[in-house]
Amino acid sequence: MNLILIGFMGAGKTTIGKYLASENHMNFIDTDELIEQNNSMLIKDIFKNYGEEYFRKLESEAIDKLVYAENTIISVGGGAVMFHNNMEKLRNIGCVIFLNTPIEQIFNNIKGSFRPLVGHSMDKEKTKSLYESRLSTYMKADIVVNTDNLSIAEISKTITEIVGVKPNL
């Protein structure tokens, strides 16, 4: 079984994915990390040098390769499900889980870090409208997990209970 974590930047997809994988003896793949490794370049430099459209092509190609994943937690970049029919592709790879995080918490989580689409000094209005434009697509996930005020351990426990993960020892 594969579990795929989707959600906005700063929702905790990578952190929760790594935790879930180690707790349940599963593999972990983060599409952003995969793209960086395959291209020997940071995501921010891919955006800067080649633009978003090129990044989305690399992202979609990375997702295509995940059809071979087994017993894996997959964390995908926040915008992935908006392009190239990726949501459908991900649904065919595993159970898609939306980490539904309130926008105020997102602001807190991403402030001070650099993200190509929101820059260094996050523009709250721009970030919020990007979030809102994606919400209806995120909600098409197989499972929606509300992460507000929950610890990483609690979110992971909620997910394993809902999907009934059986550790593969």
Residues that bind ligand S3P (CB under 6 A): 9, 13, 32, 43, 77-79, 115-117
Nearer to ligand S3P, 102 or 116 (CB): 116
Residue 143, φ and ψ in degrees, nearest 5: -135, 135
Compute the C-alpha angle 68/69/74, nearest 5°.
140
In 3-state terms the chain splits into helix, strand, coil percentages (rounded to 5) of 55, 15, 30
CB of 151 to ligand S3P, least distance (A): 20
Nearer to ligand S3P, 13 or 87 (CB): 13
- Which residue, 9, 11, 19, is CA-closest to 157? 19
Nearer to ligand S3P, 26 or 55 (CB): 55
CB of 115 to ligand S3P, least distance (A): 5
CB of 43 to ligand S3P, least distance (A): 5
Please tell me the distance from the alpha carbon of residue 155 to that of residue 150, in angstroms, as a whole number.
6
What one-letter code names the amino acid at 115?
A: R
Nearer to ligand S3P, 9 or 90 (CB): 9
